[in-house]
């Protein structure tokens, strides 16, 4: 998993609440077995019309927000089913940071397992960021995970965010559950070797 520390990126505002995982990645696209390739289906029912043509009114299709990497949105983002394909689709599209007042718990956990940093900020600050990103062209934010700071290029917004110490460690070092397990590979091999020599009984 790719590590995250310092990031500077363009903001795209999705000023809606209760966006669920079926909108993030509709169920008809869950048949793929790879983790990649889901970006083109992100918010599919909003990005495209029923005839398959591009919905030019949807914010991700607007030229102003091309190549965005920071999504700022409303309360309870990622609600609904627990599908891990939702962070896969966001990541594959290029979203590395998501800022919202609150997240659905399972989606929030899945973000950390897939190299996305979800940041919870006060609703008032989120609204201010959304307003600035709508009114300014190429509105960028800077995120420093190590110091837990967010600021914009004009430094009109500068705020510290909270993150659990262990989650921060994992993102800084690019570690998901598999990566954490592999860090103890030698101990695991030693345990398995001892176990096989004693017929399955580990001697103390």
Which tens digits make up the pLDDT trace of 151-169?
Answer: 999 888 999 999 999 999 9
Reduce the DSSP state of residue 105 to 3 states and report it.
Answer: helix
Question: Of residues 99 and 35, which shows the higher confidence score?
Answer: 99
Considering the domain architecture, whether residues 61 and 44 belong to the same structural domain is answered as yes
Q: What is the CATH number of the domain that holds 136?
A: 3.20.19.10
| 170-196 pLDDT per residue, tens | 999 988 766 665 555 565 556 566 665
Residues in the chain: 204
Asked, for residue 1, whether it belongs to a domain, the answer is no
Average confidence score pLDDT of the chain: 90
Considering the domain architecture, whether residues 128 and 70 belong to the same structural domain is answered as yes
Q: How many domains does the chain have?
A: 2
- Parent domain of 117: 6-173
| 51-75 pLDDT per residue, tens | 999 999 999 999 999 999 999 999 9
Considering the domain architecture, whether residues 164 and 185 belong to the same structural domain is answered as no
Considering the domain architecture, whether residues 168 and 185 belong to the same structural domain is answered as no
Considering the domain architecture, whether residues 30 and 104 belong to the same structural domain is answered as yes
Element spanning 159, H or E: strand 158-160
Asked, for residue 120, whether it belongs to a domain, the answer is yes
pTM above threshold 0.75:
yes
Spell out a b/e string for 82-106, using b for 16 or more CB atoms within 10 Å of the CB, else e.
Answer: ebbbbbbbbbbbbbbbbbbbbbbeb
Considering the domain architecture, whether residues 103 and 180 belong to the same structural domain is answered as no
Considering the domain architecture, whether residues 142 and 185 belong to the same structural domain is answered as no
Considering the domain architecture, whether residues 101 and 180 belong to the same structural domain is answered as no
pLDDT band of residue 148 (cuts 50, 70, 90) is very high
Considering the domain architecture, whether residues 88 and 182 belong to the same structural domain is answered as no
């Amino acid at each position: 998993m790719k590590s995250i520390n310092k990031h500077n990126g363009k903001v795209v505002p999705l000023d809606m609440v209760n966006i669920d995982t079926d909108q993030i990645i509709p169920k008809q696209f869950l048949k793929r077995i790879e983790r990649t390739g889901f970006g083109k289906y992100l918010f599919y029912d909003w990005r495209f019309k029923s005839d398959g043509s591009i919905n030019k009114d949807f914010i991700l299709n607007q030229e102003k927000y091309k190549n965005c990497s920071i999504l700022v949105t409303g309360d309870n983002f990622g609600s609904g089913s627990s599908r891990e394909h939702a962070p896969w689709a966001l990541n594959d599209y290029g979203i590395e940071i998501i800022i919202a007042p609150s997240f659905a718990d399972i989606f929030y956990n899945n973000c950390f397992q897939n190299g996305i940093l979800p940041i919870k900020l006060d609703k008032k600050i989120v609204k201010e960021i959304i307003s600035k990103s709508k009114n300014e062209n190429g509105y960028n934010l800077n995120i420093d995970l190590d110091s837990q700071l967010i600021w914009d290029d004009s430094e009109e917004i500068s705020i510290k965010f909270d993150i659990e110490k262990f989650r921060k460690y994992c993102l800084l070092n690019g570690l998901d559950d598999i990566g954490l397990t592999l860090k103890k590979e030698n101990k695991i091999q030693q345990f398995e070797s001892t176990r096989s020599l004693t017929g399955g009984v580990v001697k103390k």
